Amino acid sequence: HGYTRVDDGSIVLSPADQATLDGMLLERLLAKRAREFAKADELRQKLRSAGVIIDDGANTYRVVPPEPPKPPQPARPTHHGYTRVDDGSVVLSPADQATLDGMLLDRVLAKRERAWERSDELRQKLREAGVSVNDGESTYSLAPPKAPKAPKPPPPTEHDYAREEADGGAAWASLPAEHRSAIDGLLLARLQAKKSRQWEAADAMRSQLNELGVYVDDGRKVYKLLGKEELSDAYTRDPADDSGVVLNATDEATLVGRLSARRQAQRSRDYAGADAIRDELRAVARQGGCSIVFDDRKHTYRFTTLAGAPGGKRSRDEEGGAAERSRLDRELADHRGGGGGGG
């Protein structure tokens, strides 16, 4: 075979063992020449297992002590080793107990094999079945399964908005049937979107209703038909306004006109003009002992009483309160007379 031994000779081979070694080295050389590489590798592995290390480049071999056998693997456990520690109020049938024991054992084996995903999957299944596992103390406990969640109420099949009519329903009756059906369908779809907290979709449907000339008042749960210009800019007083501020019809029209002008300025991107109108209205309200709050999304406004100002919780009598409200009326009237109603 042409290989030379190069170790220190501390391991002495019997003539029979030396002959066997020489035969295997020769057989491997012939396998390599015949390009039977799988057989050559198999012989090399057998030699290595017997403590013979080959160096093909130098055509040498060394005999070393064989590796000691590996210690036997621990026997596969047949029980999980976990103890139940709850009050026993949950009684399991023998079949269910066997299933539980099997899952706990499977999880122990998965952890020993470092199959963490499998272990976590089994722990989650046990938790869903009401079994809490404490690995640190090798215990488990059973809790009564949680009651199923109440089913969600079915989505509404009709909207709950009332139609507000100023003409006895003539405008609604004049609409084509498909137009009325589209409005009812959008109101219903918007209600369903709001119940499922799909706010963007609800806002988009509100815009569609606006395009159809429909104004929606979510606070009062009503809708009404308006012209597009009226719909876009019309503000109404918030029905929750309890400030006690009273405006006559003329002053209220002036206020709504200024709010409409502000809205038009916003639509035209004249934000400085819109802010100027806002500041003007707030200043007039302050002079009347109150403040004004706008909700551009709902197209509403309301008054609130300033802290420490007359109005709301007053110590003065009703006559004094009326005088303060008249002051606001005069401010709005002065503004109207001064030609300040433009945008």
CA-to-CA distance for 118 and 110, rounded, in angstroms? 6
Q: Specify the 3-state DSSP secondary structure of 83.
A: strand
**Residue 248 vs residues 253, 287, 325, 326, 333: alpha-carbon distances, Å:** 9, 17, 10, 10, 10
With a cut of 50, say whether residue 312 has pLDDT above it. Answer: no
Phi, psi at 305, each rounded to 5°? -85, 135
Q: What is the mean pLDDT of residues 14-31?
A: 95
Q: Hey, is 295 helix, strand or coil?
A: strand
pLDDT tens readout for residues 163-221:
988 777 888 888 888 888 999 999 999 999 998 899 999 988 988 887 787 888 888 89
pLDDT band with cut points at 50, 70 and 90 for residue 227: low
Residues 6+ apart with CB under 8 A from 338: none
What are the tokens at 200?
A: 């963007």
Dihedral sign for Cα atoms in the order 42, 48, 54, 60: negative
Residue 131: both structure tokens together = 């079994």
Which region, left, alpha or beta, applies to residue 54 given φ > 0 means left and ψ of -120 to 50 means alpha? beta
What does the pLDDT read at residue 309?
Answer: 52
Q: Indicate the average pLDDT of the chain.
A: 83
pLDDT, tens digit, for every residue of 42-91?
999 999 988 999 999 999 999 998 677 778 877 888 899 999 999 999 99
pLDDT of 315 > 70? The answer is no
Q: Which amino acid is at 281?
A: L
Which is more confident, 225 or 190? 190
- Per-residue buried b or exposed e for 135-149, using 16+ beta carbons within 10 Å of the residue's own CB: eeeeebbbeeeeeee
At 119-173, the pLDDT tens digits run 999 999 999 889 999 999 999 999 886 777 888 888 889 999 999 887 778 888 8
pLDDT confidence of residue 323: 45
Q: 74 vs 293, which has greater pLDDT?
A: 293
CB neighbour list of residue 43: distance below 8 Å, 6 or more residues apart = 24, 27, 28, 31
* Predicted structure pTM score: 0.32
pLDDT at site 313:
43
Is the confidence at residue 267, as pLDDT, over 70? no
